Amino acid sequence: MTDAEYVNRVLAGDVDAFTTLVDRYYERCARFAVRMLGNRDDAEDALQATFVRAYRALDRYQDRDKFSAWLYRILVNQCRSLAARRSHRERVFVREEAALMNAPDLGANEGQLAGEGEEWVQRVLTELDPLLREAFLLKHVEELSYDEMSALTGASVSALKMRVKRACDRLRDRWEQIKDA
């Protein structure tokens, strides 16, 4: 069944049909939220809020819209809101703690660093400005087109291209710092 058919079933009173939609999109949304927010607890909060809001707003969902894009708009807004509510002090503390606990051994050879790549990428992503991190994740992790990203974020395609470029430049610069250390 299509997403729109499941939405119609939920609107007709079949609450269990929403579980299928959650199951269909949970992992993908969770991956984005964890990378966007930097930790699993905040990501879980954003996910719960996203699915609750989606359920409550199903009557406003338009069949012409792609359900995944509609859901991602809600998720992106939830991640933005949650990140904005954090205090500056909490962000700095979490970032410093993650850097200390997950920093790759700078004396390691490149093969060892590659094995720790996932942690390194996550740590460096948390150092990026949230708008750069969001654009990078939507483009390179979720593999959305710039038009899809624009529909989700409300930013222009040119602004998103610049954000992705800046994020890539910062990630590349950070990698060079680690390799040269």
Res 113: pLDDT: 38
Q: What is the pLDDT along the chain (181 residues), one digit of tens a residue?
A: 899 999 999 999 999 999 999 999 999 999 999 999 988 999 999 999 999 999 999 999 887 678 999 999 999 999 988 887 764 445 454 444 544 444 443 333 334 334 455 677 777 788 888 889 999 999 988 888 999 899 888 899 999 999 999 999 988 888 788 777 6
Q: What is the pLDDT of residue 116?
A: 54
Indicate if the alpha-carbon torsion angle 28, 31, 35, 41 is positive or negative.
Answer: positive
φ/ψ region of 79 (left if φ > 0, alpha if ψ in -120 to 50, else beta) reads alpha
* Count of residues in the chain: 181
pLDDT number for residue 43: 93
pTM metric for this prediction: 0.69
SS3 64: coil
Whole-angstrom Cα distance, residue 49 to residue 54?
8
pLDDT at position 105 is: 39
Q: List the domains of the chain with CATH numbers.
A: 1-92 (1.10.1740.10), 96-181 (1.10.10.10)
Contacts 24+ apart (CB under 8 A), 152-156: 152/69, 152/72, 152/73, 152/76, 153/76, 155/131
| Cβ atoms 178, 113 nearer than 8 A | yes
